[in-house]
């Protein structure tokens, strides 16, 4: 999933943004490391260069994943959430001061910033809608359906889907318990909605029937 729908790395290639590139510092991150947490008040803006990065909320011993950033995604740390590297990778970071300066000087950056924020906002509204209106089964099928559409590969008349998530991680995206998600998924397997094909690899024989499971 492209979290914000806009690839900032591409944007940075534009000639108009020459001076913008200099503002960012590259920073290596190691798999599993928590890069930012809500308590530290240093405000940074960063773009994912390589690797995957998870944005999540934490409360006591529970976690809720808001989204997983991929190369090209931009994020700001002053939004009160945790940021964790899911793989070894690198970020382009800069502080908020520089961003403000850039916004004044580079109008294009400005528009992009607003666009990214708008996308993230839209995404969080759909998360709220899911949590408020739908049960876990609907959220699960909905998630699989969306992923199948955006990153599934057509194979054997069906769709193959590489999620690259453990059940636990998936449950944190859905806002549910590991056990519940595990049970629901296996129910879906028994009903033939999905077929398991190895570690976090799924085959969806008929996308249509998955869709009707989402909206009965």
Partner DNA sequence: CCTGTTTTGTCGGATATCCGACAAACAAAT
Partner DNA sequence: ATTTGTTTGTCGGATATCCGACAAAACAGG
* CA 25/CA 94 separation, integer angstroms: 6
| Residue 181 CB, nearest approach to DNA (Å) | 7
What is the pattern of x (binds DNA, CB under 7 A) and - over residues 97-136? --------------------------------------xx
Pairing outcome for strands 158-162 and 25-29: unpaired
Give residue 157's region: left, alpha or beta (phi > 0; psi -120 to 50). left
Residue 39 as a binder of a second copy (CB under 8 A): the answer is: no
Q: How far apart are CA 81 and CA 39, in angstroms?
A: 9
Report, in Å, the least distance between residue 64 CB and DNA.
10
Among DNA, a second copy, none, residue 137 binds (CB under 5-8 Å by kind): DNA
- Spell out where 71-155 has E strands: 74-76, 82-85, 89-95, 153-155
81 touches a second copy by CB under 8 A: yes
Helix (H, G, I), strand (E, B) or coil at 59: strand
User: Does residue 175 bind a second copy (CB under 8 A)?
Assistant: yes
Distance CA 18, CA 45 (A): 18
Binding site for a second copy (CB under 8 A): 57, 59-60, 62, 64, 66, 76, 78-81, 100, 103-104, 107, 110-111, 113-114, 117-118, 120-122, 124-129, 131-134, 175
Binding site for DNA (CB under 7 A): 62, 135-137, 166-168, 175-180, 182-183, 185-186, 196, 198-200
């Amino acid at each position: 999933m492209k979290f914000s729908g806009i690839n900032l790395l591409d944007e940075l290639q534009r000639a108009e943004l020459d001076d913008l590139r200099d503002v960012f510092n590259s920073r290596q991150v190691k798999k599993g490391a928590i890069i930012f947490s809500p308590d530290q008040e240093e405000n940074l803006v960063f773009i994912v260069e390589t690797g995957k990065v998870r944005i999540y909320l934490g409360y006591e011993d529970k976690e809720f994943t808001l989204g997983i950033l991929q190369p090209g995604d931009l994020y700001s740390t002053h939004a009160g959430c945790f940021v964790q590297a899911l793989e070894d990778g690198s970020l382009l970071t800069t502080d908020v001061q520089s961003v403000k300066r850039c916004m004044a000087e580079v109008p294009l950056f400005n528009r992009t910033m607003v666009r990214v924020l708008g996308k993230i906002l839209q995404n969080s509204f759909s998360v709220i809608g899911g949590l408020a209106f739908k049960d876990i089964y609907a959220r699960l099928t909905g998630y699989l359906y969306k992923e199948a559409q955006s990153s599934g590969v057509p194979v054997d008349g069906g769709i193959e889907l590489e999620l690259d998530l453990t059940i636990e991680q998936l449950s944190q995206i859905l806002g549910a318990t590991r056990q519940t998600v595990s049970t629901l998924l296996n129910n879906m397997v028994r009903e033939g909605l999905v077929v398991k094909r190895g570690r976090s690899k799924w085959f969806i024989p008929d996308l249509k029937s998955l869709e009707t499971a989402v909206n009965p």
